[in-house]
Copies of this chain bind each other. A is one copy, B any other.
Amino acid sequence: MRSRLFTPGPTQIPEAVRLAASTMFPYHRGPAFKKLFQEVQASLRYFFQTKQEVIVLTASGTGGMEACVCNLFSAGETVLVLAGGKFGERWAELGRAYGLQVILLEVPWGQPVDYTALENLIKTTRHLSGVFCTHSETSTGSLTDLQRVAEIVRRHSQALLVVDGVTSVGVLPFHFDEWQIDACVSGSQKGAMAPPGLAFVALSERAWQTHSRSTLPRFYFDFTAARQAAQEHGTSWTPAVTTIMSLAESLRRIQANSLEYYWNHYARLAASFRAGVQALGLAIFPKVPSNALTAVTVPSGVEGKALVSRLREEYGVTVAGGQGQLKGRIFRVTHMGDYDHLDQIGLMAALEMALAGAGWRFEWGAGLAAMQHAYHDSSSRQG
């Protein structure tokens, strides 16, 4: 039985990207690495759609998020966190760990963001130093209208806008400079289609200025050290060199195809997968879904954890279950990564079989047929 990975990070990555890490690697202070890293730096600017330097940290996305907190703020400052899932809540946990005053604007998981409430809260909060939000919330599959959030923040405050773009950069339309984001974190194993182990942080001029006044303790994640090293095409500390080799190959491919290609590609995969799932009588969990992944509500009478196990054990298909309050209530399937329509057709066939085995009733092939319809329709529209 062949193993197929459909989890929302790590996602499937191209063979050439995996193999790029398997040759003997260069010394991270020597000219061969500097040349490679210079190329990665340019690609990352394109990836984030920014003219600014993008910082590369050897860490997971959470490490990149912590770097934004401890480099851009000072103890006692007030920040607003827009949280509608596990990753949104992480911003609040990070803020509290560093002694920030956290105002939490909670969005019920899977529900749309209340932009009016957000606007009112920003208007009425004094001395607001930062607004944290999650562009694509992986725990619920929900999308936040980041451009709208950015406009609201800019209109009413001097706060820095700090964004978790872990499953949005490279996946959904994203324009760091144009939307006037101040800090955005992403990771190597999502839209960048490389193995996990690297976090990226893009920072605006305003963020760099604020950084110079921030007094929170940091060393490994220090942005000043990272920027100094970046100017010489290196990193502050020994980086995950082999992962950077994979990343270079992957970003090369992304640039060759263009970001727009991927944004459209993922939109089509997401739309057709959702059509298939709904044709089986299942519901999409979030009201405003992100194209990075689809969270599907486990139907009544089916045991969520057993469904995920069955997919993996009987059909070799790994999807993610729910996290936190959604444990057992949803399953999550990625679209970002090295997937195409035929990969998803295979996944849908496995899903039909696993659902049938769990006692869910539907017409065999209904999900597959609906996917074909939806994919064909979107091709015609694009063509």
Q: Determine how close the nearest CB of chain B comes to the CB of A99; give it in whole angstroms.
A: 7
Q: Which of A294-353 contact B (CB under 8 A)?
A: 312, 318, 320
Q: Determine how close the nearest CB of chain B comes to the CB of A218; give it in whole angstroms.
A: 7
Q: Determine how close the nearest CB of chain B comes to the CB of A251; give it in whole angstroms.
A: 17
Residues of B within 8 A of A364 (CB): none
Partner of A70, one of B18, B93, B197, B217: B217
Residues of B within 8 A of A243 (CB): 195, 197, 240, 242-243
Residues of B within 8 A of A189 (CB): 238
Q: Do residues B239 and A196 form an inter-chain contact, with CB atoms below 8 A?
A: yes
Q: Do residues A60 and B219 form an inter-chain contact, with CB atoms below 8 A?
A: no
Q: Report if A22-B22 is in contact (Cβ < 8 Å); known contacts: A63-B237, A219-B62, A220-B62.
A: yes
A25, CB-defined interface residue at 8 Å: yes
Q: Do residues A240 and B99 form an inter-chain contact, with CB atoms below 8 A?
A: no
Partner of A217, one of B7, B18, B26, B216: B216
Partner of A63, one of B27, B97, B220: B220
Distance, CA A60 to CA B98, complexed state (A): 22
Q: Report if A18-B12 is in contact (Cβ < 8 Å); known contacts: A58-B59, A195-B242, A238-B187.
A: no
Q: Report if A63-B59 is in contact (Cβ < 8 Å); known contacts: A22-B18, A217-B216, A312-B30.
A: yes
Q: Do residues B241 and A10 form an inter-chain contact, with CB atoms below 8 A?
A: yes
- Copy tally for this chain in the complex stands at 2
Interface size on A, residues (CB 8 A): 56
Q: Do residues B239 and A242 form an inter-chain contact, with CB atoms below 8 A?
A: no
A252, CB-defined interface residue at 8 Å: no
- Residue interface bits A233-254, CB-to-B below 8 A is 1, else 0: 0001111111100100000000
Residues of B within 8 A of A60 (CB): 58, 220, 237-239
In the assembled complex, 29 residue pairs joining A and B whose CB atoms fall closer than 8 Å, in A order, are A3-B26, A3-B32, A5-B26, A5-B27, A7-B29, A9-B238, A18-B24, A18-B242, A19-B22, A21-B195, A22-B22, A58-B58, A58-B59, A58-B60, A59-B59, A59-B220, A61-B237, A62-B219, A63-B220, A93-B219, A94-B219, A97-B217, A97-B218, A195-B242, A196-B239, A197-B242, A197-B243, A240-B243, A243-B243
The 10 closest A-B pairs by CB, nearest first: A197-B240, A60-B237, A22-B22, A195-B242, A60-B238, A63-B220, A62-B237, A66-B220, A97-B219, A7-B27
